Structure 1
Amino acid sequence: MATPNIVQGAVMAVTMMIAGIIGTISGRHVKDSRDFAVSGQKAGALVLTGMLMGIVGGAATVGAAQLAFEYGLTGWCFTLGGGIACLAMGLFYAGPLRRSGAETIPEYISSTYGPAIRIVTGTIATLAMFIQVVGQILSSVALLKTTFGIESSVAIFLSVGLMVAYVLFGGAWGAGMVGIVKSILIYFTLAVAGVTAYRLSGGFEGLKNAFPSYPWLNLLGRGLDKDGAGLIAVIIGLLSTQTYLQVMFAGRDIATCRKAAFLSAVLIPPTGLASVLVGMYMRINHPGIESAYALPAFFLQYTNPVVGGMAIAALILAVVGTGAGLALGMSLMIAKDIYGRLLRKKAGDREILFVSRAAVVAILLLSIFFAKTNLKSIILSWAYLSMAIRGSSIFLLLVVAMYTHSKFPYWVGVVGATAGPLAILFNKALLPSGPDSIYIGITASTLALAVSVAIASMYTRTRNFK
């Protein structure tokens, strides 16, 4: 296993220090819970793009290279889906969400389904996002173990500590500002890595000679039931995630939100393709390594020391930033949609800010146990499951809320929000080798919401007739 030389180590240290200083300075903008949550709705396109580029975290880089090492081009599905989701945000979501004045997705949809839905969807989304946080920690462990040779337990605690520090003081401002630095570094270093891996592999002809076309050179090489489901889960899941839709609430105006979404839609997919090329090159030349180590090991062995040092620092920032951003989104829903609605309806702003920050720490500390017991799992599998659960719970409810002016009884929202996740849990328990979770979840959610809306409409018409 490769370890960084003096130059790589020094570049890593300087890069991390600069990012830390930027995050600390960003924290000065946080005066109240609204600054912590949505940047006081003053963020410009670059800060918003930095927040959206949080999609390019451990799953999109380390996880994509890992999956490419195991199966080939299918590792690209995550960032390809991320680009499509950002395009949809700009086209269809920016206007309705930014005009609403809301701060969280559960708060927004409560105007259609009533206040009870905030607690239900906030709880489900929080649990689903927690699953993805575990995947980010596993990515960070792979990075830290490959780079520094430290034990898994030490790497887990260090990862969680970095995530807490990343977001605790800066909130949305810190996530956005550090996200800009991270995005520039990630884009530059992955571009270098992708081009280098492609060249060393002998170009497309070299890859064709090294791998059979199926499944290695097929985007859906494991089939529609597996990779097609993963692509759909990413798109629907990201369009249901507080962390990323938060960008639509945080911009200074609708045009700014759209600009950030469209820019991210262009920037995100190439990062995954570069990671895939690295993963496939490492499979050809180092088939005996652990697949999760493919990307960091390539940077340490095959790139210029300065680029390698910057890359490892950028990957650590990417993994830590995405995990911290997810924790931030979860903490906002816990503080505003669960604590502020269920436990302390009269909680003041300082109390909500304190609960938001405390929730970040609690979430990340709890994730330590799950990371320690799943060190050998496929990183992207955590992301896909998380996306499927929150997508099947929130996606359709949100679309209906954005594009209808109807009001529905609270039970319609509750049924629509819970049917998908419950179906996924039953599917996992009873038919673990059955259809993928996203197909089960979105089908159950669609049927439940359609039937519920029909019954509610029929009841309303009957009551009005009487």
Structure 2
Amino acid sequence: MGQFIYAAVFVGAFVLFCALILKNQRRVVSGSDFSVAGRSLSTTQVSWVIIGTLVGGVSTIGTVQSAYDHGVSAWIFTLGSGISCFLLGCFFATALRREQVTTVSELLGRYFGQGFQYYCSVLNSCGMFIHIIAQYLAAMAILNSIFHFPLPVSLFITMVLMGFFVMSGGISGAGMVGKIKFFLLYAIMIVCATIALIKGGGITGITAQLPKTTDFFNFFSNGIETTTIDIISMITGVLSTQIYLQAIFSAKTIREARNGAFLTAIVIPPIGILGIIVGLFLRANCPELEGNSAQALPFFFQYTLPPVMAAFCSAVLLLAVLGTGAGLILGVTTNIYMDGIRRLFTKEPDHSLTIVRLCMLAVLILSGGVVLAGFSTTILRWSYLSMGFRGASVFAGLCIVVFTGQKRFSPMVRGILYFLPVGYFILAVL
């Protein structure tokens, strides 16, 4: 009976989230509306789009897990995200919004040639595609833990839900998902951190109970070099990812674009601090999680919250994972359409929205097929390459465009830009 109530609350909460998203969707009538919302997003809407994809399972589940294992170094992801968005607002947003493009590859193609545009678009899409697979697996794990579905059923449900989140509203829909995710995740993490501090006797009480074998309050516990590389990878990766930059392209004005990036930079890092508090509390009080720390946050729900609240929180986690996956799918789809299929037409066709949605359906099916085929484990081993691929293929060229303002570049510069992703891949493999 308890399991039935847990599942019923989970389903009810999730249906409520879907209803809120549908109710607040703006009408989409063209491919431009779908991809860049007619360039009409306000400051907060720009922020919601970025948050909708950037803040998800890694910012919550992953941060709590990393804090349990390593301590405050778990702040790297959310801190790096905040720094990235700050730099985006300071140095990149003005140039990006002024160019009136839809994809970052399109922007680079104007300066380095159409061939580089296609090359960059393919690598950027591959990096995002790898992360889509990871979101599938995370969502399926949540569904399996509650309903014990077989893999094909969980996969199908995940595919349908991701498609629902992104197909109906495009970039505006991603913004609405981000808005709902932000308030719910923040509320949950504040409640969890507060409970952890009360039960643990405050920071001093938690600190006193931590194992003495590890320095949990050393931000560079993984090594200064490793930590620095991780932060740089985060910064370059975020500043090179289509869906985050797509929010800037969709802004109403340059000012809205810049302020949206700054707002995001302010609100993301604190959620990492809340996750660290929860992770350290669990490390101090639940040593049985060692070796299975990926379950730390769901365990905390069950360990400290009433079943109804725990089910609600699990539904929010599923929303966060699906929202991230949907945003990545939107980014890949935009690249496919704008840097590939769109080039077949002299102007945007009347049926462009249908074409975009068919592209999105293809990405959904292909990513689901990869999971179903059993390649997911191999892909996850290579998932760390995702952010690096995006940075290596986009970031150097983007910096050259933004900071030099030149229109023509020598073949040597273009050759270096072509080689960077290959060089990164070789170094990562070695």
TM value normalised by structure 2: 0.89
Deviations 1:285-321 (A, max 9, x none): 1325732222122223312455434322221111101
Is 1:326 aligned to residue 328 of structure 2? Answer: yes
CA distance in structure 2 between the partners assigned to 1:244 and 1:393 by the alignment: 15
Q: CA deviation at 1:53?
A: 0.9
Matches within 5 A, 1:51-90: 51-54=49-52, 55-90=54-89
Partner residue in 2 for 1:403: 403
Bigger shift: residues 77-86 or 137-146:
137-146
CA distance in structure 2 between the partners assigned to 1:215 and 1:345 by the alignment: 59
**Contact persistence 1:23–1:175 (CA under 8 A):** no
Partner residue in 2 for 1:93: 92
Deviations 1:261-283 (A, max 9, x none): 22211111122222233333334
Partner residue in 2 for 1:145: 144
Partner residue in 2 for 1:349: 349
Q: Which amino acid aligns with 2:256?
A: T
CA distance in structure 1 between the partners assigned to 2:45 and 2:315 by the alignment: 20
Q: Which amino acid aligns with 1:15?
A: A
Partner residue in 2 for 1:262: 262
CA distance in structure 2 between the partners assigned to 1:234 and 1:220 by the alignment: 16
| Residues 24/349 of structure 1: CA separation in 2 closer, same or farther (3 Å cut) | farther
Any unmatched runs of 5+ in structure 2?
none
| Residues 369/215 of structure 1: CA separation in 2 closer, same or farther (3 Å cut) | farther
Q: Which amino acid aligns with 1:246?
A: Q
Partner residue in 1 for 2:17: 19
Partner residue in 2 for 1:282: 282
Corresponding residue SS for 2:268: helix
RMSD: 2.7
Is 1:421 aligned to residue 394 of structure 2? Answer: no
**Contact persistence 1:117–1:410 (CA under 8 A):** no
Matches within 5 A, 1:228-247: 228-247=228-247
Corresponding residue SS for 1:216: coil
CA distance in structure 2 between the partners assigned to 1:66 and 1:382 by the alignment: 20
Bigger shift: residues 136-145 or 169-178:
136-145
TM value normalised by structure 1: 0.82
Partner residue in 2 for 1:316: 318
| Residues 50/5 of structure 1: CA separation in 2 closer, same or farther (3 Å cut) | farther
Matches within 5 A, 1:106-121: 106-121=105-120
Corresponding residue SS for 1:406: coil
**Contact persistence 1:64–1:275 (CA under 8 A):** yes
Structure 1 residue corresponding to 2:36, chosen from 35, 38, 42: 38
Is 1:249 aligned to residue 235 of structure 2? Answer: no
CA distance in structure 2 between the partners assigned to 1:191 and 1:374 by the alignment: 37
Partner residue in 1 for 2:272: 272
Deviations 1:366-386 (A, max 9, x none): 32355464777998x866431
Higher relative contact order (CA 8 A, sep 6+): 2
Partner residue in 1 for 2:199: 200
Bigger shift: residues 44-53 or 238-247:
44-53
**Contact persistence 2:25–2:176 (CA under 8 A):** no
**Contact persistence 1:132–1:382 (CA under 8 A):** no
CA distance in structure 2 between the partners assigned to 1:167 and 1:30 by the alignment: 12
**Contact persistence 1:175–1:321 (CA under 8 A):** yes
| Residues 269/300 of structure 1: CA separation in 2 closer, same or farther (3 Å cut) | same
Partner residue in 2 for 1:179: 178
Q: CA deviation at 1:413?
A: 6.4
CA distance in structure 2 between the partners assigned to 1:314 and 1:360 by the alignment: 24
Any unmatched runs of 5+ in structure 1?
432-466
